[in-house]
Structure 1
Amino acid sequence: MWSDLDCDVKEQYELKHMTTMGVGGPCAYYLAPRSLATLEPLYARCRELGLPVLAVGNGSNLLADDAGYDGAVIHLGRRLKGMRVEGDTLIAEAGLPMPRLAWAMAKQGIAGFEFMAGIPGTVGGGVVMNAGCIGKDTAGVLTAITYLDEAGVLHRKPAAKLGLGFRSSSLQGTRSLILQAEFRMQRGDEQQDVMARTRAAADIRKDKFPLHVATVGSTFKSPPAGPHPGRLIEEVGLKGHRIGGAEISRVHANWIINLGSATAQDVKRLMHVMQETVLRKLGIEMEPEVLIV
């Protein structure tokens, strides 16, 4: 079925092994392409077989269901991590970790990517979520993407037509598959200044958030103008609240931690308690940032 395609294949592979939260049941097929050239025929094969497709980079913003996924998971973050420079454009493959991109640019004194050092996701996921940190986001440097639409047709689309908003894009909720992204390179800054800003962005996570834990990071979106969910959740007394193996972090209340035995259902129930309590006590509705599969 897959032997003629250049990819690793596993059947009934659990999504908990692909997500930073460490929860999620088995998918029908796990597919890890070894090159960008494999993606188009691989996606076409999934369509021929009638398989729904889920693209996963680092799995840092996904909450996968305990029942798993009855389709094919294409793991872009396994090998598709290349990048190259063409003139003033940086072209990065979808599976490239954003911190790696940030540091690579900083070492060359190229500005604009510093904020990515504080984001645990990959380029593909960063585009879909318009990921951001320290007041900057992906939309600020993105110029175009190459992707396969839901019919398997290859496109190159400028960033201006992606509907990029606060932690959102028109790609969310679709089965489009990003191959690579193009970014504008800003030259002229002193290399030591870019390195310092990149280091500061990376240090934000160390200073504000729990480290070395199983989590998806921010559970609910934090609007630039506030109010920030972490403060709201703490205000209603839920910091440290636990359901099953899932706990609201005692370090940052907008993070849910898998203590080691959490199920996706535990996390979902805890999210519901957070939303319902904040709405009931403070009249504020929080919008999930985590993507539920």
Structure 2
Amino acid sequence: MALLIQTSLCKKLLCLSKALPVMSMKLSTEGTREYIISEKVGEKKNVGLVRLNRPKALNALCDGLITELTEAVSEYDADKTVGAIVVTGSERAFAAGADIKEMLHQTYSENLKVGLLEQWNNLSKCKKPVIAAVNGFALGGGCELAMMCDIIYAGEKARFGQPEISIGTIPGAGGTQRLTRSCGKSFAMEICLSGNQITAQEALTRGLVSKVFPPEKLVDEAIRLAEKISEHSPLIVALCKESVNYAYETSLTQGLQFEKKLFYSTFATDDRKEGMAAFTEKRKANFTNN
């Protein structure tokens, strides 16, 4: 009898062990995790949508949320059916900042050892375009997270700012650097040294965001842009993104040389040949990502 029970239990455990990897894979690619919701959207399901989902904390960026976010973006980056990615929050908050409670008792030596905030850089490594759809508050780490994305669309009620100065520290995930490059030294100094917030319209005027929409239309507009990008060759899109980022980080002379080399390199691709052939033949291009 004991042998029968043991055999039956082993069979159940074996079935469970076989089922677990499948369940884990499903949860790791799409669906609701602890801090985010991810899904493929758009008419052709070729856009990866990642929604920050920590509403009680206004999507404060704790380590767990950043881990889940970077994992989801990395998965969509590797997914051949996805052409672009949209990151958003709620209408109340994109992300109100980093999680201060997690950092409250950190020390200088601990920060050096664990590399505090270094995990955030993983978002910038994505080869596919990432669009931030910002409604509500994008403050501190939330503003920095938006600036890590390639394009920022904002809702009319969005608010941006780097208020770290008011709690005795400075931006640590690119706020002083990316804001300066996007909006200029004087404006970056004003925002970072005062801690003041700016509206979506002022962010548009300063070049921080591309477009402003009514809050209820924001995500749909971001998805529409992502769908448009996804129509093009993923290979060429990645090269173009790389070239723009190079301009953001280097001198004009270096940027022009880099752009020319990438331009030449497209002539070694099948998609460049197909794109130009389709144009001359007045038909839609059939890109193969080669």
TM-score w.r.t. length of structure 1: 0.31
Q: Which one has the bigger helix percentage?
A: 2
Q: Which one has the bigger strand percentage?
A: 1
Q: Which has the higher contact order (CA 8 A, sep 6+)?
A: 1
Instruction: Work out which of the two has the higher radius of gyration on C-alpha atoms and give 1 or 2.
Output: 2
